[in-house]
């Protein structure tokens, strides 16, 4: 039975990694061209396009925490299959929309469904993978997602970015992955005790219990600042480069290529480093690399310097992304993992704040002011993660150390005192 369980867990992890790559390709070959379609087909201006495109992820950030707690209560499989199905419908709707209202509705449906899928998929991966392998699994997943987004736009252009075909194909990919999840993932993956605990506590109370964990709150604050720095870096950097450098569009294309290349090449070495020094030290190192990259951008005087500092910036990225997931996973337990990853997904608000704050700083203080602001945010993120790591688990009503949502965490302090991966 144990061997069968391990084999099933491996199958689920491989399915989630392969599916993440397929979804990244599907979304890369469609979502990359949303702004172009809104401008060309509907004649919208930049401000309206930005508001419309930003509305979906913002609503998704509000919905995803509840999806995580819901998956603790009714199971990961049903939440993932429904979310993927609606994401597929939304993408097809984007391709077929003939009005701004229809386009906006489809975009919101797709974005919210994608936001629901993401934390639940992470929680399921942690459910299925043994603790010693979770960092490796998160690193692989991060790698295939970036690879998918790198090739997706090229596939979209080859199919016909001006047509509905890429959107329809992307929708079918989502439907196929949804069916695979339903067929392969069991209805209940948790142990019976964990499943009973999850079914007894209402979702809002589980979410509230998660947010009473000071460690998670600090990690959430740090995650918001981090995503403000790197989540939408192309939006602010592209404006600066194209306005201030000769052949700025060409230089920006080289920066995007550099970012994608370094992600592919550095992910495996970064994982080895995280295993050696631990996720917290890796997180601080990544934040410092972000800081150095942003300061470098501020004072770079040539395309070569910008590309060099983009390498530094991207190495920080490949350190912080898997390290952050591991830190959240360490403070969660089997029966509330969805609630913790769901609550932490509120950090995606940083994807909205980054372009907003960066744009305001760029307009008011110029490129140097914008980059120095992001450097300060990177430093602040390191401080918040360090505070979270140093905070004790929440206390139960009887005064004992409670690990997660009121559960007594036997051995929790012992586990926190040793490296995650031996």
Least confident interval from 144-158, 173-187, 312-326, 364-378:
144-158
What pLDDT is recorded for position 211? 84
How far is the CA of 220 from the CAs of 223, 341, 348, in angstroms?
5, 10, 9
Mean pLDDT, range 241-270, rounded to an integer? 85
Within 10 A of 119 (CB to CB), how many other CB atoms are there? Answer: 28
pLDDT tens for each residue of 349-389: 888 788 888 888 888 898 999 999 999 999 999 999 999 99
Distances (CA, A) of 312 to 125, 161, 263, 309: 29, 33, 11, 5
Mean pLDDT value across residues 179-195: 72
**The predicted structure's pLDDT at residue 403:** 44
**Does pLDDT of 14 surpass 80?**
yes
So what's the pLDDT on residue 133? Answer: 85
pLDDT category of residue 417 using cuts at 50, 70 and 90: very low
pLDDT of residue 49: 75
Query: What pLDDT score was predicted for residue 413?
Result: 28
Q: Quote the percentage of the chain above a pLDDT of 70.
A: 87
Q: What average pLDDT does this structure show over 222-237? A: 87
What is the three-class DSSP state of 395? strand
Assess whether pLDDT exceeds 80 at residue 77.
Answer: yes
Mean pLDDT within 48-77: 81
Please tell me the predicted confidence (pLDDT) of residue 189.
Answer: 62
Average pLDDT over residues 211-221: 93
Higher pLDDT, 207 or 388: 388
The pTM of this model reads: 0.74
- Cβ contact 327:391 at 8 Å: no
- Given a cut of 80, whether residue 402 has pLDDT beyond it is no
Mean pLDDT rounded to a whole number for the chain: 83
pLDDT for 330 beyond 60 = yes
pLDDT of residue 19: 96
Evaluate whether 65 touches 348 at the Cβ level (below 8 Å): no
Average pLDDT over residues 171-196: 78
- Share above pLDDT 90 across residues of the chain, in percent, rounded to a whole number: 44
Residues 6+ apart with CB under 8 A from 250: none
Q: How far apart are the C-alpha atoms of 256 and 32, rounded to whole Å?
A: 13
Q: Which range among 53-57, 271-275, 329-333, 411-415 has the greatest average pLDDT?
A: 271-275
Most confident of the ranges 111-120, 187-196, 278-287: 278-287
- Residue 406: pLDDT over 50: no
DSSP-derived 3-state class of residue 404: strand
Least confident of 10-24, 100-114, 357-371: 357-371
Confidence of residue 142 (pLDDT cuts 50, 70, 90): confident
SS3 per residue for 218-285: HHHHHHHHHHHHHCCHHHHHHHHHHHHCCCHHHHHHHHHHHHHHHHHHHHHHHHHHHHHHCHHHHHHH
> Quick check: 192 pLDDT over 50?
no
């Amino acid at each position: 039975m144990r061997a069968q369980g391990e084999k099933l867990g491996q199958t689920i992890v491989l399915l989630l990694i392969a599916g993440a790559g397929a979804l990244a390709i599907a979304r890369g070959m469609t979502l990359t061209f949303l702004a172009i379609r809104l401008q060309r087909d509907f004649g919208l201006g930049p401000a309206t396009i930005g508001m419309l495109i930003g509305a979906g992820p913002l609503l998704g950030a509000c919905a995803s925490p509840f999806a995580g707690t819901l998956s603790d209560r009714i199971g990961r499989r049903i939440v993932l299959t429904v979310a993927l199905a609606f994401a597929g419908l939304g993408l097809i709707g984007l391709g077929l929309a003939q009005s701004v209202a229809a386009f906006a509705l489809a975009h919101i449906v797709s974005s919210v469904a994608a936001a629901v899928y993401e934390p639940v998929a992470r929680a399921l991966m942690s459910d299925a993978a043994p603790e010693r392998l979770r960092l490796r699994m998160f690193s692989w997943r991060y790698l295939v997602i970036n690879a998918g987004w790198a090739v997706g736009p090229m596939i979209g252009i080859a199919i016909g970015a001006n047509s509905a075909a890429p959107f329809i194909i992307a929708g079918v990919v989502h439907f196929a992955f949804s069916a695979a999840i339903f067929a392969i993932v069991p209805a209940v993956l948790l142990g019976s005790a964990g499943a009973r605990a999850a079914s007894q506590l209402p979702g809002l109370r589980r979410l509230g219990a998660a947010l009473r964990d000071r460690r998670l709150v600090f990690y959430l604050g740090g995650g918001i600042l981090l995503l403000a720095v790197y989540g939408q870096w192309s939006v602010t950097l592209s404006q600066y480069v194209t306005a201030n450098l000769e052949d700025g569009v060409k230089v920006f294309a080289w920066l995007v290529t550099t970012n994608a290349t370094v992600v592919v090449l550095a992910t495996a070495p970064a994982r080895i480093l995280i295993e050696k020094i631990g996720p917290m030290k890796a997180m601080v190192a990544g934040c410092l690399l972000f800081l150095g990259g942003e300061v470098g951008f501020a004072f770079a005087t040539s395309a070569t310097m910008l590309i060099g500092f983009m390498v530094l910036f991207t190495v920080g990225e490949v350190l912080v992304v898997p390290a952050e997931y591991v830190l959240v996973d360490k403070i969660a337990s089997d029966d509330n993992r969805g609630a913790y990853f769901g609550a932490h997904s509120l950090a995606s608000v940083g994807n909205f704040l980054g372009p907003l704050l960066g744009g305001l700083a760029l307009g008011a203080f110029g490129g140097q002011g914008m980059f120095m602001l992001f450097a300060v945010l990177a430093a602040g993120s390191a401080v918040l993660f360090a505070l979270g790591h140093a905070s004790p688990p929440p206390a139960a009503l009887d005064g004992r150390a409670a690990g997660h949502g009121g559960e007594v965490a036997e051995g929790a302090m012992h586990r926190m005192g040793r490296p995650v991966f031996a």
